[in-house]
A and B are shown apart, each in its own frame.
Chain A
Amino acid sequence: NSKVIQTPRYLVKGQGQKAKMRCIPEKGHPVVFWYQQNKNNEFKFLINFQNQEVLQQIDMTEKRFSAECPSNSPCSLEIQSSEAGDSALYLCASSLGTYQDTQYFGPGTRLLVL
């Protein structure tokens, strides 16, 4: 069973508000991923890190989304100005490496933007 911890489980924000969620990867997993799962079960990769370094991120992430994985602190994903279309399940996953390594997912943060 996955030991990835995500908080909070639910987040309700108004449009234009900041939304911040956190993730603690499995112990010993240096690689962390953030995905967005919408109500149609479409997944979108947002960003990933190896230790504190960004490996890859998509354009959407570069604009309103910010993320970090500081040393000895939880990783975080923050939406600077929430939009209705951001309502989704945000999933954090961690893995041992970046080459065909299994990703283990946390329970997710369900964001609702009113």
Chain B
Amino acid sequence: GEKVEQHESTLSVREGDSAVINCTYTDTASSYFPWYKQEAGKSLHFVIDIRSNVDRKQSQRLIVLLDKKAKRFSLHITATQPEDSAIYFCAASRPSSNTNKVVFGTGTRLQVLP
């Protein structure tokens, strides 16, 4: 089955710098890639997603890039702020199952330092 890997388990950046979180996936049929943020003791909060018909999507300070050939996607957070500190999970799903089950990575803990 699908496997999603997040390459950085932890990431520290200075406030105002950019943070990049990278993920790879194994199933070439995957076509939907959401990102979630989880703050300490809280649930998953949807932040942004990308579908395979595009290779870039931006929402305010968040940019998602998708490289289908390399089966890689990444989340770029620009001008980081302390409130961006959290665990970020990437995920992937394929449409053919008709269930939209998503497979998650194991998370990247982002720490934004003052």
Contact = CB atoms under 8 A, between A and B. Distances in A.
Contact of A43 (B97, B98, B104): B104
A17 interface: no
Nearest to B106: A41
Interface in B32-48: 32, 34, 36, 42-46
B87 interface: yes
Contacts of A2: 43, 45-46
B100 A101 contact: yes
Contacts of A55: 98-99
Which bracket fits the contact residues of A? Answer: 20 to 34
Interface of A: 1-2, 31, 33, 40-43, 45, 48, 55-56, 91, 93, 95, 97-108
Given A41-B87, A41-B106, A99 B46 contact: no
Contact of B100 (A43, A98, A108): A98
B93 A100 contact: yes
Contacts of A91: 43-44
Contacts of B51: 100
Given A100-B95, A105-B36, A42 B106 contact: yes
23 contacts: A1-B45, A33-B101, A41-B89, A42-B104, A42-B106, A43-B89, A43-B103, A56-B99, A97-B100, A98-B100, A99-B95, A100-B32, A100-B51, A100-B93, A100-B95, A101-B100, A103-B100, A103-B102, A104-B46, A105-B44, A106-B43, A107-B42, A108-B43
